[in-house]
């Protein structure tokens, strides 16, 4: 399947975490992920929301960009404020969220510039070569 | 960016050198003291991860207990020669234990009857298809097996899985260094009444079980043992444990549903 992009912008409020989680699960299912992997994606979406909540103003919006193709799902979350301590997450909540993300995703990276950064997560469909 | 002043001031406190020292001592001497200190040291990781699964009618203390089983497994299995931090190794093990606990206990969640039944069937289908296919089934395979749509399977997953954002609040009663109030500015729903109702319903349903069935449930869901471990402890076959669990879950489910109708 060709790559498809779905963009979802939600307010930084906890009740919208479900919106992101359901969208992520549906897209993961669409690319043929297993039950366990879909559950991982649901957790990843939620933790990404947690991570983003700590890195954007409460009144701001958070944009989730989902890129799907036959190899899996990439979620890019932003725009986030750069971490205060030279790109390292010193906030306890962000560190814990990162632990969970690293547990359930194949790749976790923070793409940062001087002014803004984003979180990128990759979950691959089992048994499909990139 | 506004943040909790408390969360700004806190840092991770795990002492890597002490962790290595304790693991070295534990591996060399198998002493319970080093193991206990490791458990205590990483209990705040368990508490955090457990808090991410609450708000579905399970007391946080029970979730911490389940998570602690994961932590102990991680401590016992951690290979100190590998170039990986213990937290990196332990997190998926603890999460796995919590996920398994919730997946197995779909009966305790208060959701509409139709979804409750569908969720139960999805869990059964996942178990059966996993055995048949020797891998985790896709959503489409589960949907075909149950003759429902993929959306319905996803809907059942959404209701049966305990993972929920609202748990971010952490323990409001504690203000110590191990408490987590990382997102104090984000609102949450009060689920206390639902918790109380669930527990009362469950307590009533438990009365319909034999002593052996209650024992199996306790070992499976409170001690976190696998079916094989329970079989060994009770000196019965794993198939018997499986049958007992199926029956007890059905009795509990029927009891809960009957009280809700």
Alpha helices of chain B — where are they, by DSSP H?
5-9, 16-29, 32-41, 43-51, 60-77, 86-104, 113-133, 139-146, 150-160, 192-206, 211-217, 227-234, 238-260
Q: Is the pLDDT of residue A4 over 70?
A: yes
Lowest pLDDT segment from B41-50, B146-155, B184-193: B184-193
What domains appear along chain B, each with residue ranges and CATH number?
Answer: 1-105+162-189 (1.10.1740.10), 112-161 (1.10.10.10), 190-261 (1.10.10.10)
ipTM summary value = 0.78
- Give the tens place of pLDDT for each residue, B140-185: 999 999 999 999 999 888 876 544 433 333 333 333 333 333 233 2
Burial B45-55 (b: 16+ CB within 10 A, else e): bbbbbbbbbbb
Lowest pLDDT segment from A7-21, B135-149, B225-239: B225-239
- Choose between B182 and B216: higher pLDDT: B216
- Give the tens place of pLDDT for each residue, B73-104: 999 988 888 777 888 889 888 988 887 787 66
Q: Tell whether B91 is within 8 A of chain A (Cβ).
A: yes
Non-local CB neighbours of B35 within 8 Å, separated by 6+ positions: B26, B72, B75
- Token pair, residue A21, equals 């989680």
Interface of A with B (CB under 8 A): 13-15, 17-18, 21-22, 25-26, 29, 32-39, 42-43, 46, 49-50, 53-58, 81, 90-93, 95-96, 99-100, 102-104, 126
What is residue A120's predicted lDDT score, i.e. its pLDDT? 94
Specify the pTM: 0.56
What is residue B176's predicted lDDT score, i.e. its pLDDT? 37
Confidence of residue A76 (pLDDT cuts 50, 70, 90): very high
CATH numeric code, A4-124: 3.30.565.10
Confidence of residue B68 (pLDDT cuts 50, 70, 90): very high
What is residue A9's predicted lDDT score, i.e. its pLDDT? 96
Q: Please name the residues between 151 and 180 in chain B that touch chain A, using a CB distance below 8 Å.
A: 151, 153-154, 157-158, 161, 163-166, 168, 180
The alpha carbons of chain B give a radius of gyration, in whole angstroms, of: 20
Q: How far apart are the CA of B26 and the nearest CA of chain A, in angstroms?
A: 25
Give A8: exposed, middle or buried? Use CB within 10 Å, 0-12, 13-18, 19+.
middle
Q: How far apart are the CA of B207 and the nearest CA of chain A, in angstroms?
A: 33
- Choose between B42 and B227: higher pLDDT: B42
Look over chain B and give the mean of its residue pLDDT values, rounded to a whole number: 71
Q: Tell whether B10 is within 8 A of chain A (Cβ).
A: yes
What is residue B235's predicted lDDT score, i.e. its pLDDT? 79
């Amino acid at each position: 399947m060709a790559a498809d992009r779905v963009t979802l912008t939600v307010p930084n409020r906890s009740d919208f975490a479900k919106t992101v989680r359901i969208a992520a699960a549906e897209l993961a299912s669409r690319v043929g992920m297993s039950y366990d992997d879909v559950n991982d994606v649901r957790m990843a979406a939620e933790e990404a929301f947690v991570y983003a909540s700590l890195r954007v103003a409460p009144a701001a919006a958070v944009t989730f960009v989902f890129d799907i193709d036959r190899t899996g799902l990439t979620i890019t979350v932003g725009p986030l404020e750069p971490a205060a301590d030279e790109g390292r997450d010193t906030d306890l909540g962000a560190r814990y969220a990162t632990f969970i993300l690293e547990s359930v995703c194949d790749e976790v990276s923070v793409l940062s510039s001087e002014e803004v950064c984003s979180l990128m997560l990759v979950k691959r469909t089992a048994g499909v070569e990139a | 960016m506004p943040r909790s002043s408390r969360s700004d001031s806190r840092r991770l406190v795990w002492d890597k050198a002490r962790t290595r020292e304790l693991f070295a001592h534990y591996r060399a001497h198998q002493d319970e003291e080093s193991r206990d200190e490791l458990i205590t040291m990483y209990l705040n990781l368990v508490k955090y991860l457990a808090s991410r699964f609450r708000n579905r009618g399970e007391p946080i203390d029970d979730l911490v207990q389940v998570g602690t089983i994961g932590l102990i497994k991680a401590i016992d299995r951690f290979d100190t020669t590998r170039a990986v931090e213990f937290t990196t190794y332990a997190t998926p093990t603890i999460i796995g234990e919590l996920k398994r606990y919730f997946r197995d206990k779909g009966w305790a969640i208060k959701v509409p009857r139709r979804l409750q039944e569908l969720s139960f069937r999805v869990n059964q289908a996942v178990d059966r298809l996993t055995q048949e296919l020797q891998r985790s089934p896709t959503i489409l395979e589960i949907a075909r097996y149950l003759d429902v749509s993929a959306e319905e399977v996803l809907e059942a997953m959404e209701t049966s899985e305990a993972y929920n954002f609202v748990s971010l609040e952490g323990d409001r009663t504690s203000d110590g260094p191990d408490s987590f109030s990382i997102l104090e500015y984000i609102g949450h729903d009060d689920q206390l009444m639902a918790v109380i109702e669930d527990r009362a319903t469950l307590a009533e349903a438990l009365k319909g079980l034999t002593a052996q069935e209650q024992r199996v449930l306790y070992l499976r869901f409170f001690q976190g043992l696998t079916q094989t471990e329970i079989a060994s402890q009770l000196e019965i076959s794993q198939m018997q444990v499986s049958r007992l669990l199926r029956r007890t879950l059905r009795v509990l489910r029927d009891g809960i549903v009957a009280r809700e109708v």
